[in-house]
Structure 1
Amino acid sequence: MRRKFIHLVSFAAVMAIIVTGCSQSKSSDSVKVKAEKVSAENEKNKGSVYVESEFAPLKRVVLSQSEVYFPEEDSGPNMMEDMKDIQIKMEKEREEFKKVLQKYDVDTQMPRLLTEDEKKLGLAENGITGGAGATNFFARDPFFTIGNHIIEGSFFSSYRRLEVLPARDILLKEVKANQNPYVAVPQPDVSKGINSKTGPFLEGGDILVYGKTIFVGNSGQASNKEGIDWLRNYLTPDGYKVVEVKLEKNTLHLDCAISFVRDGLMIVNEDSLPNGIPDELKDWDKIKVSYKDAQNLAINGLPINEKVYVTDIAYKNTIGKELEKRDIKVEYVDFKITRSFGRRFPMHKLSHYCVNKYLLNKNFFFLWIIV
């Protein structure tokens, strides 16, 4: 059986660590009180990597090395012929995105590439992926940070189960420097086969952090109830509330349905949420997006802080216009090629993970950046 190795560098796999810094918006008194509590928690954890919210100031990110290693029969006969042009275009998108980050003094770094042994393991039919392949992209998903907890996830799709390894050195470095709790979701149960849906599964794209309230998506295609229960059991002793958010089956991750822009303001597609918007968020101001645009990843943007939001130029006249009405500065990047591969920003937001702003003056918002 012949195999193909495809090396893509894309934004869609960016991962970032966000610095702590919580700014308050003109929302309800209860929201302001929560923000004050979050800031107090921040102060208590100063000196450590700490993710306070999705919109805390972004200081440092990891831009992905997007690599795809699939069996030839799965990738199609013309894919390699097309990849050179696609690679060039994706690298250009990434560089334009990087310029936006640098404009706001956000430091960038990248995970290492897959090793030859990792590529071989991804193609081993009796290995961890069942021979489905190996990937090193969409760094938003392999791990995530909640408060000061750095957590490696567990993938539903078997070909992604080696994906955390290229970023692990970054995680270990941060843990060593800051003494963060560092855990991994238990490996999925494969007693009934490599593609068993038992789990537990928990992926970074399903995690939205808002102080001590953590929203976790469940579409049946990524994170599942077992993974969410594991997270709840792990975080509850530390004072967290974990809220499961049901997603319709075609909405892979929660960050494809909801994006927090600032305290009290979200971008959302309600058709992606069969049980509706979570009670905790119903009073928020909402920029509503069509189901079609949500499926094209219109919602999958990135707040650099509570005043600046990055999105695709394709949504300048829709999402962008609504954000500007609300005094949000919008930075636009053309992510046409990257978005066509399934996710927008190639970064893992450790910015979804707020790094304490006292951390070397370079807050690691994400250790994974993607979109």
Structure 2
Amino acid sequence: MIMKSIASPIIILLSLAILSSCHDQPTPSSQKIYINSEYGNLKEVIVGLSSGKNPSIDAPWYKEAIKILPEDERKIAETTAGFNWTDVKYNENGEYDPAGTISETDLLEIENNDLIGVFHSLGVTVHRPDLITEQWVIDNYGEAALINGYSQDFPRDNLAIIGNNVIELTLKTPLRRFDIIGFNQLLMTKCDETVVWVSMPQIPLLPVPSDETPALEGGDVMVLGKTILVGNTANKAVGSNEAGYNWLKNYLGDDYNVIRVPLVENILHLDCALSIPKEGLAIICKDAFSDGIPEVLNGWDLVEVSLEEASRLAVNGLPVNDKNYIMSYNNHTIETSNRIKSALESYGITVHKVFFGTHNGQGGSIRCSTQAILRDK
């Protein structure tokens, strides 16, 4: 229930061909993919789908991975292990209930549609991935691959977009490695001569990679111009690792200042502990940073949350621009979300709240559920 790639041989060959030429190209008005900050004016975004199947309880990484969830959500993850989301039922109050009549798939798509409505109201173009099904996984990879499940609700983690670099990531979390297939058609239409499209070195489909194997997940990558923050959770079963940080630092070269940000074990990704609505302002959980908050944030105004609030995804929102911010809430975070909303409004930011309880129960929120692909500078 958590999270996040496999690239085609064509993309792997492409990455080898252009690995040494990753510097940003000019950004003409016709630029189709470009991200220079977390808060630049958002023009186009990918929103995830509600298709997925939970990992089997026998998946060797699963019990360690779900430690990042609050206890109530962890128990549901254990109970529904191996279930297709169409078979995970909820009652009319949105509570997990085996006798319920509404599926997790239905609830996820209701939340997605509410989010898409906000994007449309703000003039943002929304794209959706191509659908992946359980039968598709069996037909292409064999039934054994389903031990790790699959999911399409959190497209953030498949890619890192830095300037005009589109980087397909190698995910530590086995659940998420099919997701990138759903992006292929869209990327082929968007990645023109202004875009550098590469893939990290790929790994076998089923196992969790060793610490020496580079692994990166998009929730750990934050873009602040030429400064790139890369989160590294202490949880060995999920998230990004130090080898992944080193790979990205080497790939981007001297044009970028890539900073590793260690996180505590029960925080999955950097975007669960840090959000940047505008330059000089951050929503942050200080207790999530095992080595202290990044120095690049020194002197910034901070809206602080607790570790418990961060674990309920209070931080994981998405700036549409420096005047509009989308944030989630659930039954556990109503008071917290209202406090954050008031704080952001004091800085002249309009906050758009979306109920996202089902996504939150899977360990992700608004930023996880989206992949920004084009922002104005």
Q: Same fold (TM over 0.5)?
A: yes
Match of 2:221 among 207, 215, 219: 207
Task: Provide the secondary structure at the position in 1 that maps to 2:219.
Answer: helix
CA-to-partner distance for each residue in 1:6-60, whole Å, 9 max, x for gaps? Answer: 9xxxxx99xxxxxxxxxxxxxxxxxxxxxxxxxxx89755532211100011111
Determine the C-alpha separation between the residues in 2 that align with 1:329 and 1:260.
Answer: 14
CA-to-partner distance for each residue in 1:249-303, whole Å, 9 max, x for gaps? Answer: 1100000010011000000000000111111111111000111110000000010
2:232 is aligned to: 218
Determine the C-alpha separation between the residues in 2 that align with 1:77 and 1:262.
Answer: 41
CA 1:43 to 1:158, structure 2 compared with 1: closer, same or farther past 3 Å? closer
Task: Provide the secondary structure at the position in 2 that maps to 1:183.
Answer: strand
Task: Give the partner amino acid of 2:46.
Answer: V
Task: Give the partner amino acid of 2:345.
Answer: E
Match of 1:118 among 124, 137, 157: 137
Match of 2:347 among 321, 326, 330: 326
CA-to-partner distance for each residue in 1:312-370, whole Å, 9 max, x for gaps? Answer: 2424421111111221111111112221121112765442x54457xxxxxxxxxxxxx
1:138 is aligned to: 154
The offset of 1:184, in angstroms, is 0.7
1:20 is aligned to: none
Determine the C-alpha separation between the residues in 2 that align with 1:194 and 1:77.
Answer: 17
Task: Provide the secondary structure at the position in 2 that maps to 1:331.
Answer: strand
1:259 is aligned to: 275
1:100 is aligned to: 118
- Is contact 2:82–2:147 with CA below 8 Å preserved after alignment? no
Determine the C-alpha separation between the residues in 1 that align with 2:156 and 2:226.
Answer: 20
2:201 is aligned to: 186
CA 1:232 to 1:325, structure 2 compared with 1: closer, same or farther past 3 Å? same
CA-to-partner distance for each residue in 1:90-127, whole Å, 9 max, x for gaps? Answer: 222222211111111111121111153434455544xx
- Is contact 1:144–1:152 with CA below 8 Å preserved after alignment? yes
CA 1:272 to 1:46, structure 2 compared with 1: closer, same or farther past 3 Å? same
Give unmatched runs, 5+ long, in structure 1: 1-5, 7-11, 14-40, 358-371
CA 1:118 to 1:44, structure 2 compared with 1: closer, same or farther past 3 Å? same
- Is contact 1:71–1:132 with CA below 8 Å preserved after alignment? yes
Determine the C-alpha separation between the residues in 2 that align with 1:212 and 1:108.
Answer: 27
Give unmatched runs, 5+ long, in structure 2: 5-23, 59-79, 91-101
- Is contact 2:232–2:260 with CA below 8 Å preserved after alignment? yes
- Is contact 1:258–1:269 with CA below 8 Å preserved after alignment? yes
The offset of 1:170, in angstroms, is 1.0
Superposition pairs of residues 274-285 of structure 1, within 5 angstroms: 274-285=290-301
- Is contact 1:63–1:346 with CA below 8 Å preserved after alignment? no
The offset of 1:70, in angstroms, is 4.5
Indicate yes or no: 2:40 matched with 1:56: yes
Determine the C-alpha separation between the residues in 2 that align with 1:349 and 1:77.
Answer: 25
1:340 is aligned to: 361
- Is contact 1:258–1:268 with CA below 8 Å preserved after alignment? yes
Task: Provide the secondary structure at the position in 2 that maps to 1:141.
Answer: helix
1:38 is aligned to: none
The offset of 1:65, in angstroms, is 1.3
Match of 1:298 among 314, 317, 327: 314
Task: Give the partner amino acid of 2:150.
Answer: A
Match of 2:210 among 197, 218, 226: 197
Task: Provide the secondary structure at the position in 2 that maps to 1:140.
Answer: helix
CA-to-partner distance for each residue in 1:184-223, whole Å, 9 max, x for gaps? Answer: 1111379xx8234232101100000000000000004311
Determine the C-alpha separation between the residues in 1 that align with 2:54 and 2:104.
Answer: 17
CA 1:323 to 1:123, structure 2 compared with 1: closer, same or farther past 3 Å? farther
Superposition pairs of residues 82-101 of structure 1, within 5 angstroms: 82=89, 84-101=102-119
CA 1:285 to 1:77, structure 2 compared with 1: closer, same or farther past 3 Å? closer
Higher relative contact order (CA 8 A, sep 6+): 1
- Is contact 2:271–2:367 with CA below 8 Å preserved after alignment? no
- Is contact 1:42–1:52 with CA below 8 Å preserved after alignment? no
- Is contact 1:122–1:133 with CA below 8 Å preserved after alignment? no
How many residues align structurally? 312
The alignment's TM-score, normalised by the length of structure 2, stands at 0.75
- Is contact 1:137–1:346 with CA below 8 Å preserved after alignment? no
